[in-house]
């Protein structure tokens, strides 16, 4: 979708949409006042709420269609609220079969217009790679927004659009079916996407992972025809060779059957999205690199498929992780923490980061605790927690602070190995998973864990996207990397 900014509509514009706040409706002036008042009279249900849209065909007028779209109340003007205005606008626009509409926005500065446009494009996502027929929404090839300074809006829009492209890529990765996106093809896609950027990509295959001792990743992935991959991304935009990177680690389970601790049919349905943590990190780094952010970041994406075969790992197996710590497998469905343990250990050993964040669709328990609105987050450092919460508020990727506690750690002890992979209690499953992960955080490393199981997948549309995978974490993490002290 091409976004343009202009002071006036082009000749032959198909649809002229005037964006109005509730307050605007009471005092309509300007060249279209008659048409606007006619529409308001004809459609009393139009109140100017965000996403309200009405339009009519005007035979003989210079635009074939003329309409109004609501902006809600004109008061709060944070970046996120402007993005949501754009998102709502787009959600209405895709119900109309028009091409290249012109949207008249009044009372917004040039950079605010750009933010509204970027919110609209964030919402204008669709995943239709495998639909050969159906078309129930209309994504226009291009949209033109009125701006007080088209050049300034265009300039402000460029980086926002790169961030948008990264979010859309993360959604694509999550929406891909597991027969297409498996560990081997996932790694290839990341390599291909990073071509032409300054991101250095290293892919470890099953032989290299076995040799290095990544026993946890290999155990989880060993049943699948598509063998595990560990993909390391490094982007250094600081201009300093010796800068210390921050580390991001993501769970990339391309399909989670549960293994021999098999899931129910219903429980398995959305498990193609179990790689969204890894997708979020790849996309966050893409966003930073394409915007040439002055940051140094390393990403580790642990990619496996959790399957069943005569080579699968079993409950009761004892595996040796890359750290040397042994793990009694008490449940093969608690696979995410296992692969994260090795990936976290690898980045800490190789890159010596002072700060590390992992993100994963880790537990159903996080959904039980927080519903589908918030990701659960845990941290061993108060100031890191504050930074993340600030990025969360600014980007709209919502997180909620959860407890780390010695009691949650104690129930991870095993009688036959250094630890179990599930707790001895069924309660607090997201908290005990975090306690497991903390055993793989080195001394002195500031660490946060984000359990994004609640928010990876949206059942219905929301302000900035349609139903499907959300791209959660891309904006949160890229914002945090840019702003961390
Ligand atoms: N991928 C799942 C977690 C999940 C569940 C994500 C629902 C999204 C929606 C994870 O690998 C898993 O199976 N976790 C188990 C852990 C349990 C065995 C301790 C769970 O939550 O049931
Ligand atoms: Mn699982
Ligand atoms: Zn899983």
pLDDT tens string 198-243: 999 999 999 999 999 999 999 999 999 999 999 999 999 999 999 9
**pLDDT at residue number 83:** 96
Report the alpha-carbon distance of residue 141 to residue 382 in Å, rounded. 46
CA of 331 to the centre of ligand 1 (A): 11
Ligand 1 pocket: which of 174, 280, 364, 433 to mutate (most atoms within 8 A of CB): 364
> What are the Cα distances from residue 187, in Å, to 7, 41, 230?
44, 57, 8
The partner residues of 229 in beta bridges, in order of sequence, read 303
Torsion of CA 170, 473, 153, 147, to 10 degrees: 90
The mean pLDDT value for 176-191 works out to: 98
263 as an active site residue: the answer is: yes
CA of 174 to the centre of ligand 3 (A): 13
pLDDT tens string 325-356: 999 999 999 999 999 999 999 999 999 999 99
Ligand 1 pocket: which of 304, 363, 432 to mutate (most atoms within 8 A of CB): 363
Ligand nearest to the CA of 304: 3
**pLDDT at residue number 136:** 67
The mean pLDDT value for 138-154 works out to: 93
What pTM does this model have? 0.97
CA of 326 to the centre of ligand 2 (A): 19
CB distance 432 to 412 below 8 Å: yes
- Which numbered atom of ligand 1 lies nearest the CA of 363? 21
What is the pLDDT of the chain when averaged over all its residues?
95
What are phi and psi for residue 132, nearest 5 degrees?
Answer: -90, -15
How many residues does this entry show for the chain? 485
CA of 452 to the centre of ligand 3 (A): 11
**pLDDT at residue number 247:** 99
Neighbours of 211 (CB within 10 A): 9
- With CA atoms as reference, report the closest residue to 399 among 425, 379, 419, 421: 379
**pLDDT at residue number 404:** 98
**Could you tell me the pLDDT band of residue 57, with boundaries at 50, 70 and 90?**
confident
Neighbours of 195 (CB within 10 A): 8
pLDDT tens string 404-429: 999 999 999 999 999 999 999 999 99
H or E stretch including 19?
strand 15-20
The CA radius of gyration of the chain, in Å to the nearest whole number, is: 24
**pLDDT at residue number 140:** 84
DSSP helix/strand/coil, 410: helix
Ligand nearest to the CA of 453: 1
**pLDDT at residue number 95:** 86
459 as an active site residue: the answer is: no
Neighbours of 423 (CB within 10 A): 23
- Strands of 326-328's sheet, edge to edge? 318-320, 326-328, 419-420
The set of protein residues with a Cβ atom below 6 angstroms from ligand 1 is: 256, 274, 331, 333-336, 361-365, 367, 422, 429, 453
Report the alpha-carbon distance of residue 394 to residue 390 in Å, rounded. 6
């Amino acid at each position: 979708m091409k976004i343009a900014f202009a002071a006036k509509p082009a000749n032959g514009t198909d649809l002229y949409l005037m964006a109005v706040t509730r307050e605007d409706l009471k005092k309509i002036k300007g060249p279209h006042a008659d048409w606007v008042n006619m529409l308001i009279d004809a459609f009393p249900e139009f109140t100017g709420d965000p996403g309200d849209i009405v339009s009519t065909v005007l035979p003989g007028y210079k635009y074939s269609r003329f309409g109004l779209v609501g902006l809600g109340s004109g008061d709060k003007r944070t970046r996120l609220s402007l993005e949501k205005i754009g998102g709502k606008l787009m959600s209405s626009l895709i119900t109309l079969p028009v091409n290249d509409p012109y949207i008249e926005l009044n009372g917004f500065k040039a950079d605010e217009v750009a933010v509204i446009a970027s919110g609209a494009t964030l919402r204008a996502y669709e995943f239709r790679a495998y639909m050969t027929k159906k078309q129930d929404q209309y994504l226009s090839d291009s949209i033109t927004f009125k701006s007080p300074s088209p050049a300034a809006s265009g300039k402000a829009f460029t980086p926002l659009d790169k961030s948008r492209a990264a979010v859309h890529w993360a959604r694509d990765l999550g929406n891909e079916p597991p027969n297409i996106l498996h560990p081997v093809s996932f790694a290839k896609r990341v390599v291909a996407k990073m071509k032409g950027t300054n991101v250095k990509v290293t892919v470890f295959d099953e032989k290299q992972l076995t040799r290095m001792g990544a026993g946890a990743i290999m155990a989880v992935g060993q049943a699948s025809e598509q063998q595990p991959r560990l993909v390391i991304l490094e982007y250094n935009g600081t201009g300093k060779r010796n800068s210390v990177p921050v580390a991001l680690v993501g769970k990339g389970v391309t399909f989670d059957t549960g293994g021999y601790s098999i899931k129910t049919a219903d429980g398995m349905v959305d498990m193609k999205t179990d790689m969204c943590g890894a997708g979020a990190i790849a996309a966050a780094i893409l966003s930073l690199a394409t915007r040439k952010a002055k940051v140094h970041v390393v990403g580790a994406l642990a990619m496996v498929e959790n399957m069943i075969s005569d080579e699968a790992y079993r409950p009761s197996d004892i595996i040796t992780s890359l750290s040397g710590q042994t793990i009694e497998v008490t449940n093969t469905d608690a696979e995410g923490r296992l692969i994260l343990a090795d990936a976290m250990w690898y980045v800490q050993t190789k890159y010596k980061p002072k700060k590390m964040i992992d993100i994963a669709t880790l537990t159903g328990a996080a959904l039980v605790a927080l519903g589908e609105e918030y990701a659960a987050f845990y941290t061993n450092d108060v100031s890191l927690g504050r930074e993340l919460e600030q990025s969360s508020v600014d980007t709209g990727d919502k997180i909620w602070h959860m407890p780390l506690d010695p009691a949650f750690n104690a129930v991870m002890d095993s009688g036959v190995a250094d630890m179990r992979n599930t707790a001895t209690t069924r309660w607090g499953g997201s908290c005990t998973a975090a306690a497991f992960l903390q055993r793989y955080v080195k001394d002195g490393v500031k660490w946060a864990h984000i359990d994004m199981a609640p928010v990876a997948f949206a059942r219905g549309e929301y302000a900035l996207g349609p139903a499907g995978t959300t791209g959660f974490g891309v904006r949160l993490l890229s914002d945090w990397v840019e702003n961390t002290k």
